[in-house]
Amino acid sequence: MVVTLGQIKDIYGVSMYDVVIVGSGASGGAVAYTLTKAGYKVALLEKGKLLSRDEFSKDELAYCRRDIVTPNLFDEYHTIEEKVNGKWVATPTYESGWSFWNGNIVGGSSNLMSGMFHRLHPDDFRLRSKYGKIDGANIVDWPISYEELEPYYTKVEEIVGVSGDFRPHRYEPKRSTPNFPQKPTEENSVTKLIEKSCKELGISALVTPRAILSSGKNGRNGCTYSNFCGSYGCSSGAKGSSREALIRPALATGNLTLLPHKYVKKLYSTKDRVTSAVIVDTLTLKEEQIEGYIFVISAQAHESVRLLFNSANKYYPNGLANSSGELGKNLIFSGGGAGEGELHKDSLKDIEFKELIKTGLFVNRSILDWYFIDDWWRGKFKGGLVEIMFQHQNIISRSLQNTYSDGKLVWGKELGERIVDNMTNQKSIRFEIFNDWLPNDNCFVSLDPNHKDKYGMPVGKLRIQAHPQDLKVGNYIAKKCKKILKQMGAKNIYFDISSTPPQNLVAGGCRFGDDPKKSVLNRDCQSHDIANLFVADASFMPTGGSVAYTWTIYANAFRVADKIVKILKYKNN
């Protein structure tokens, strides 16, 4: 018998752990952190590779054009089903180039997030009770309340690290601590212009909490202000990724076996328990099995659903843990869109242009005034959140915006002059809107019977359709945001509210609830059918609120981990 970092192999080559976690992103990392700190032996499986801080470059071609941290779409892909001329048409993503992979490396997509953190509002947990039924939308209340999750939001602030400056607002949820553990990151002077313009319009601008350290902590450095957060890994350790904040200290306990390059094909189970997982080494293509007392799936919503469908057996012919028939249903994204305007050197007011174009400093301003809307003309309805930021620092994409003029291709000297002018005489200011993507019958995950990945497993088919209310809310808020940019003196303002979802914000598919006939998981994100199976990623969410999901994913995964600790303590007693 060989024992290495908690791994026990018997003569059949089957590994046994207290807990086996599939996926190392925000949820998998939080569960691993909690369990290893409690002294349990954990295996953390990750399909992708482990990158060190030094390997996170700012190479725009590599990250934005070559997808070096996600699979080749000809090897692994999805099919996306959209309505075309009244018919549902499925297109493989290797044809469209529309990738639904989000950071297949140790730490998952948390490595690549912008780290804008907002809590859900208490009413997000009771949307059905507050607003009633909406035709065509499958809205339900959560089985837990904000008050139950609040201590875990606070836990994330401390362990993962959240910087900010709390300002009271009628739509800010109540906190159990007065402020964030870290002061805000350094800010560009444009914040003065934003706040002044908002105040003139009677709007409150808040400081955006960020999962980015402003000063060093626990072996992680404070932010170095590279200006490359979203879509890029952090080479200073400041970003609160699962890899930095959770997996690194979990490894230090000696209780974590981190297994990169491990693709999980299938879970084997009896009627009551998962017994093992079939894994493929992505480098050698060798298959093996791994055993655990408890299994936690955290592969990202659509992929967790796919794994459960691919694990169907005689007890669960329609997908593992799917006695309800709800597996894969009510997939959600984030509604909304974005807009932009230009602040020009010759017309800038209230701040100096040299201050505006300082690189690296954050904008960190958000607006909650329209999170809930009570409009005398349009009525009462759930609204959304606004983030204000600069256009991404990506040089190539910014340059490409200058390649056409009046519909004609520009090149040579004229192109060079346009790029120089764009980079030196103006700065683009941007707003992004997040509002609820209402769950509906035409947004779900299934298996594609005609397409398989390189491992021979059916790929996930995502049918995508937005609810009309999503566009109504987004357009309502965008018009308000346009007024802010105009007040700031911006020119060439535009916005785009779309029913095309952002593929980096995916949730639902394993809805949790108290009724086993209407949900896949119970309130602890434990399968109603299989006692030793938990799903900890965003797939548990019945509704997504009007914020990015990451903080809630972290918080809920810590909550789920505490439940697992209780089970393991009971087992050992």
What local confidence, expressed as pLDDT, does residue 8 receive?
Answer: 36
Total domain count for the chain? 1
Taking residue 272's Cβ as centre, other Cβ atoms within 10 Å add up to 11
Q: Is residue 349 part of a domain?
A: yes
> Mean pLDDT of all residues in the chain?
94
pTM score, two decimals? 0.95
Q: At 561, which helix (H) or strand (E)?
A: helix 550-572
Which has the closest alpha carbon to 530: 240, 315, 226, 209? 315
Q: Is residue 67 part of a domain?
A: yes
User: Distances from the Cα of 470 to the Cαs of 257, 362, 474, in angstroms?
Assistant: 43, 29, 6
Which has the closest alpha carbon to 434: 514, 339, 334? 334
How far apart are alpha carbons 305 and 301 in whole angstroms?
6
Q: Is residue 31 part of a domain?
A: yes
Burial group, residue 69, by CB count within 10 angstroms (0-12, 13-18, 19+) = buried
381 pLDDT exceeds 70?
yes
Q: How confident is the model at residue 11 (pLDDT cuts 50, 70, 90)?
A: very low
7 pLDDT exceeds 80?
no
Range of the domain at 459: 2-53+62-168+187-210+225-572
For 47, the token pair is 């399909």
The 8-class DSSP code of residue 124 comes to G
Q: Is residue 219 part of a domain?
A: no
Poorest-pLDDT segment among 7-16, 63-72, 340-349, 424-433: 7-16
Taking residue 504's Cβ as centre, other Cβ atoms within 10 Å add up to 22
Q: Is residue 558 part of a domain?
A: yes
What local confidence, expressed as pLDDT, does residue 571 receive?
Answer: 77
Q: Is residue 215 part of a domain?
A: no
How far apart are alpha carbons 365 and 350 in whole angstroms?
17
Query: Rounded to the nearest 10 degrees, what angle do helices 550-572 and 26-37 cross at?
Result: 30
pLDDT in tens, 152-177: 999 999 999 999 999 999 999 999 99
Poorest-pLDDT segment among 47-51, 57-61, 202-206, 430-434: 57-61
Mean of pLDDT values over 314-335: 98
266 pLDDT exceeds 90?
yes
For 472, the token pair is 């109504």
What local confidence, expressed as pLDDT, does residue 60 receive?
Answer: 85
240 pLDDT exceeds 70?
yes
- Residue 162 sits in a domain whose CATH number is 3.50.50.60
For 450, the token pair is 């005609």
What local confidence, expressed as pLDDT, does residue 66 receive?
Answer: 65
Percent of the chain clearing pLDDT 90 (strictly above):
86
What local confidence, expressed as pLDDT, does residue 13 receive?
Answer: 45
What local confidence, expressed as pLDDT, does residue 15 receive?
Answer: 61
3-state SS of the chain: helix, strand, coil percent to 5?
A: 25, 25, 45
Mean of pLDDT values over 126-136: 94
Mean of pLDDT values over 552-566: 98
What local confidence, expressed as pLDDT, does residue 5 receive?
Answer: 34
For 208, the token pair is 């955006």
Q: Is residue 440 part of a domain?
A: yes
DSSP, collapsed to helix, strand or coil, labels residue 257 as strand
Mean of pLDDT values over 323-339: 97
Q: Is residue 298 part of a domain?
A: yes
What local confidence, expressed as pLDDT, does residue 160 receive?
Answer: 98
